[in-house]
Amino acid sequence: MDRAAIIGVGMTKIEANKNRETFADMAWEAVNKALNDAGMSIDDIDNVITTSSDFWDGRTISCMAVGDAAGAADKNTSCVEGDGTYGAFYGYVRTLSGSYKTTLVVGHSKGSQCISSLITNAAFDPIYERVLGLDMITACAMQANAYLNRTGLKPEHMAMVSVKNHRNALKNPMSQLPMNITVEDVLKSEMIADPLRKLDCSPVSDGCCAIVIAHESVASKFRQKPVWIRGLSFCTDSFFFGDRDLSRSNSLVEAAKAAYKMAGIEDPKMEIDVVELYDAFSYQELLWLEEMGMTAYGNAARLLEKGEFDMEGPLPVNPSGGLLAGHPVIAAGLYRIAEVVMQLRGDAGEHQVKKAGTGLAHGVNGLCGQSHCVWILDKER
């Protein structure tokens, strides 16, 4: 297989309500930033992939609202519905299939216009499950309980994730919720769905992110230093919760394994220097880290407590502040990729981690992590 690299990234600031901007306005900003970052003009882009969701956008054929602003008007284009990491995956294969050399991928979301509970309720089975009133938060509360029960951990362990990520966000100018908080603050915040308190949950956010993927034959042709795509994979678990063990995530285990194999990584904990993962809820950072093989099941909280996942620790996790500090739903995974790219280039500014040669970016689709997408990026080819 040929190789590809990410040669430009652009993101809007993540905000609670960009009420002065349309989807197209946000896409215009992120795409132009990505093109500037790459040292390209839109004429250098061969094809465009948008990532959007009819449900989250409240529009049928939601890609229609951003395509032109993303520069797709007279280019080959398509749309992935789901997290931005999946859109980027499709952009990656299009770059390698012999048809195109450069692919622009853009993902947007305006949570401020959404009723998240109704939208995520519509992801459940229409006959058997929706009437129970399940939505993403109540479902994830069940998963959090299953995880705490299985591991013997306590809500204060989840709370430590929130403390760390909000603190990291203090150094990220793009984040929505930079905060200096304590475990006490998290445990005293409003109970949303037991055991998830307000500060265990990611906020409602607006934002847009864009990246440029280039085939190896042109990756060094433009101004920006390429960050190489070393390995990537995605995997989808069963739909019904009764068919899954909610306290675990088999599909993440498999996606991570496949991505490591492609990247030639044998010991992820030692070989990966920085992780940006999909922490929609505090407990997820612990569970996802364990299932992606960074530590034994049930052990992440202990390492977190020791500071191993801090900005200065041996494996910084979510130095950007993660989703807990800003969660534009469909774009969130693309933000993870862009953040890792900036870390590996040494361009992350105040939230730059010390050693960053190899990084992992992670995205999620569906309920309670039914589907996971894992990217391994590298400074070196």
Residues engaged in binding other proteins (CB under 8 A): 1-2, 53-55, 58-65, 67-68, 72-82, 86, 89-90, 92-99, 119-120, 122-123, 125-126, 233-240, 250-251, 254, 365-367, 370-371
Tell me the closest approach of the beta carbon of residue 241 to other proteins, in angstroms: 12
CA distance 112 to 175: 16
Q: Bridge partners of 229?
A: 377
Work out how close the CB of 157 gets to other proteins at its nearest, in angstroms, rounded to a whole number.
Answer: 28
Report the residue number, 245 or 350, with the smaller CB distance to other proteins: 245
Contacts 24+ apart (CB under 8 A), 351-355: 351/168, 351/171, 351/172, 351/311, 351/319, 351/320, 351/321, 352/319, 353/273, 353/274, 353/311, 353/316, 353/319, 354/312, 355/273
Residue with tokens 């297989």: 1
Q: Cβ of residue 142: shortest distance to other proteins, in angstroms? A: 16
Q: What SS3 state is found at 182?
A: coil
What backbone torsions phi and psi does residue 362 show, to the nearest 5 degrees? -140, 140
- Which CB, 122 or 270, lies closer to other proteins? 122
Nearest CB to other proteins, comparing residues 76 and 182: 76
Residue that the structure tokens 């993660």 belong to? 322
Give the nearest distance from C-beta 127 to other proteins in angstroms.
8
The CB-of-228 to other proteins minimum distance in angstroms stands at: 16
| Residue closer to other proteins, measured from CB, 300 or 364 | 364
| Residue 224 CA from chain centroid, whole number | 23
Contacts of 27 (CB under 8 A, 6+ apart): 50, 66, 69, 70, 106, 108, 208, 210
Of the two residues 114 and 311, which places its CB atom closer to other proteins in the complex?
114
The answer to whether 111 and 204 are in contact (CB under 8 A) is yes
| 237: amino acid identity, one letter | D
For the bound state, the minimum distance from the C-beta of residue 88 to other proteins, rounded and expressed in Å, comes to: 11
Q: In this complex, which beta carbon is closest to other proteins, that of residue 85 or of residue 358?
A: 85
Q: Which two tokens stand for residue 240?
A: 């019904």
Residue closer to other proteins by CB (options 140, 315) is 140
The token duo for 236 is 């989808």
If the CB atoms of residues 55 and 269 are measured against other proteins, the closer one turns out to be 55
In angstroms, what is the minimal distance from the CB of 98 to other proteins? 3
CB of 331 to other proteins, least distance (A): 16
DSSP tag of 259 = H
